[in-house]
Chains A and B, each alone.
Chain A
Amino acid sequence: MKLDPKNTQRAAVAVLGSATLLTLTALIFIIVFVLEKGLPVLNWSFLTGAPQDMGRAGGIFPAIAGSVALTVLAVLLAAPLGVGTAVYLTEYTRESRLTAIIRFGADCLAGIPSIIFGLFGFILFVTILKMGWSLLAGGLTLALMILPTIIRTTEEAIKAVPLSYREVSYSLGATRWQTVYKVILPNALPGILTGVMLGVGRSLGETAAVIFTAGSSLRMPASIFDSVRTMAVHFYLLAREGISAENAYGTAAALIIAVLSVNLLAYWMMNRMVAKRT
């Protein structure tokens, strides 16, 4: 049977439309489900209090601090390295077998399950380098995990900067570094930010890699050599050990709100930046 263009068009709209609807429904369902169960638990003292009795009572403040500290550390380590690598791959080398291999490596790395990163981080950072279960070991492991994403999204963002901007910059006697720093990076910033935010989201939600490397201490960390527990890990332990379903949902709600706000903030910042450049 042959479809005429009009019917093909209708079919495409129907199929793509329902796919979008399905995605959106699933997303909303998850959010509503978690918030419905978790919001009643969420209040100021839950967010700012210390946990008691393994988390059966009290709040989740150390877990919030742990999530923030670990994510910030991971991003601080991975973002400069990732952006630097992407700049090197796109602006400082010509396409060659080596760049192809690096790219392939990054893609493979991005697809490795996080538990493998956890195991690797445990062996290298925790054991061999004697960091113990710590913020540092966890941050390094998460940084490795989100690095490929940052490299690849930054690369795409850099490639999307019009060639004519580079040409103009060079034609005006700018050096390569000046061109990168003054022309390419500012114009690629919204895209770079997307990559970093994906990394933030992944770090906030990660459990397996974190338990192996940062541990699950419920105390407030005092230095980067202390073990921490993140919100995601806290949720996992509360739910898995059957400690408190109520507080597990409360933690999940806090986590979801955190992730959503990070994304909204990024979205708003990107819109502002894009608006400023046109």
Chain B
Amino acid sequence: MEIRENRLEIKDFSLYYHRTKALEEISMDIPEKKVTAIIGPSGCGKSTLLRSINRMNEMIDGVLTEGRILLDAENIYDRSIDVVELRRKVGMVFQRPNPFPKSIYENVAFGVRMGENKQAKGRLEEVVERSLKEAAIWDEVKDRLQRSAMELSGGQQQRVCIARALAVEPEVILMDEPASALDPIATAKIEELIFKLKEKYTIVIVTHNMQQAARVSDQTAFLMLGKLIEYGDTATIFTNPKNKTTEEYITGRFG
């Protein structure tokens, strides 16, 4: 079998909220174990595109999709796909840190407890520890695992949320502006973490912050009004964009 470099392929994908088209025939290949950033002005469809990759948009009334998104060459919008299964492969980290009002331990254990992986359930403590370590928060919380996650700072909460997503052993991690609610130091920690995580995971990140996209990503996609304007190596996009609009956006002339 051929080893695919692009595990995630978006093919002519469109999405409607009722009758408004929010995404227009987007096609892009997302490389494995790389960080792909999605940038663009507010309301251009970044979150919508991201949430299409784990089918979170289905929770919203009146959403309709066209086209395909392939994960390991399988269309995730195919009828035969189990969406629960899909979401275990494609994890998500949200904009606001959103731990459950439970202990740190229970937060991280949640996904494993809900799943059917008997092995992981059997060594839950190990899984929790491994995930917290991967999310670079273990040292800060190891003595207070049974305390409420709500007592942590925003940046710590966000890393616990990342650990919670990692605990179900996803292949792809989607992050929607994961640092936008955090201060610069907490942001730097998250960025460092993203850099480390790409050794193991395919990461797609939405960000408003140009410098952040330039710092953490390998590939950058620029969206505007639901269209993919330009997509390519981050270095190329930021130093030598082909498209005039892209150039204007990244140099901060609008948006």
Contact = CB atoms under 8 A, between A and B. Distances in A.
A169 B161 CA distance: 12
B130 interface: no
Interface string B43-67: 0000000000010100101000000
Interface in A159-217: 162, 164-175, 178, 182-183, 187
B11 interface: no
Given A164-B98, A165-B98, A278-B101, A172 B59 contact: no
A97 interface: no
A278 B147 CA distance: 11
B100 A173 contact: no
Interface in A115-168: 162, 164-168
B114 A167 contact: no
Nearest to A183: B100
Nearest to B91: A171
Interface in B159-187: 161, 164-165, 168
Contacts of A173: 84-85, 87-88, 111, 114-115, 168
Nearest to A94: B61
Nearest to A174: B114
**A interface, over-half SS:** helix
A174 B56 contact: no
Contacts of A178: 114
A53 interface: no
Nearest to B88: A173
Nearest to A168: B98
Given A172-B165, A178-B114, A183-B100, A167 B84 contact: no
B56 A172 contact: no
A241 interface: no
Which among A173, A187, A277 has the greatest number of chain B C-beta atoms within 10 A? A173
A165 B98 CA distance: 7
A84 B175 CA distance: 35
A171 B148 contact: no
Contacts, number: 64
Q: How large is the interface on A (under 10, 10 to 19, 20 to 34, 35 or more residues)?
A: 20 to 34
Contacts of A4: none
A278 B98 CA distance: 13
A123 to B, nearest CB: 41
Interface string B2-37: 000000000000000000000000000000000000
B90 to A, nearest CB: 9
A219 to B, nearest CB: 49
B168 A165 contact: no
Given A95-B61, A167-B56, A167-B94, A172 B110 contact: yes
B125 to A, nearest CB: 18
B54 to A, nearest CB: 6
B141 interface: no
Interface in B111-159: 111, 113-115, 148, 150
Nearest to A178: B114
28 contacts: A162-B98, A164-B94, A164-B96, A164-B98, A167-B92, A167-B94, A168-B98, A168-B100, A169-B110, A169-B114, A170-B56, A171-B54, A171-B56, A171-B94, A172-B88, A172-B91, A172-B111, A172-B164, A172-B165, A172-B168, A173-B84, A173-B114, A173-B115, A173-B168, A175-B84, A178-B114, A277-B101, A278-B101
Closest 6 CB pairs of A and B: A172-B111, A173-B88, A277-B101, A171-B92, A174-B114, A164-B98
Interface of A: 94-95, 162, 164-175, 178, 182-183, 187, 277-278
